[in-house]
Amino acid sequence: MTEQQQVEAELHERAVALFRRSLHIRTFDSGSCAVCESEIRLLSSPYYDLHRLGFFFTPAPRHADLLLVSGVAVRAADHALRKTFDAMPEPRIVVAVGACALGSVFTEDELVHGSVDAVLPVDVYVPGCPPSPLALLHGLLVAVGRLEEKVQAFRFDLRERNPA
């Protein structure tokens, strides 16, 4: 890692730390089956209540710190997705939600890019089909640095439980 990259990484980390207890989220559906949206909507229900964590949904990308993208990144949404991303103020975080957005369900063809990676710089990947609201909460908390990633330590071995 060069010195410039180091400085950039540190700057990004410090900027993201500002979001820890106040984060505004803009959701973007780039061609999903709407089940991810259904789970995202549940986050603002009284049970999951993401406002208690200082997270809020905003209808305008200009007010958003984090872009929650679901779906396969259909080419028809390219323009809207690019404009949404460009309208967001720096620093901004992109979170890819669901198996489609991670690029494991549909391959690239003339209709879809196949993954959000191909269009935007993704910071956090949230797998699941759909990811449950708890998985989404974990993803958001990882994105702002309030929780550690756990999946590296998971071995998916039946004889030992994945460390919680």
Partner 1 sequence: MIWFLRGLRRGVVTTRYPAHADPWAEALPTPPSFDPQKLTFELAERLAAACPAGALRRDGPDLVLDLAGCTGCGRCCEVGGEAVAASGSFELATHDRGSLLKRIPIGADRD
Residues that bind partner 1 (CB under 8 A): 46-49, 52, 99, 102-105, 117, 122-129, 131-132, 134-135, 137-139, 141-143, 146-147, 149-152, 154-159, 161-162, 164
Encoding tokens for residue 78? 């390219």
CB of residue 89 to partner 1, shortest distance in Å: 22
CB of residue 161 to partner 1, shortest distance in Å: 8
Question: What CA–CA distance (Å, rounded) separates 142 from 115?
Answer: 21
CB of residue 56 to partner 1, shortest distance in Å: 16
Question: What CA–CA distance (Å, rounded) separates 95 from 136?
Answer: 10
Encoding tokens for residue 36? 């991810």
Report yes or no: 98 and 57 within 8 Å, Cβ to Cβ: no
3-state secondary structure of 3: helix
Cβ proximity to partner 1, 31 vs 133, nearer residue:
133
Question: What CA–CA distance (Å, rounded) separates 113 from 157?
Answer: 34
Which residues, in sequence order, are bridge partners of residue 57?
Answer: 25
CB of residue 141 to partner 1, shortest distance in Å: 6
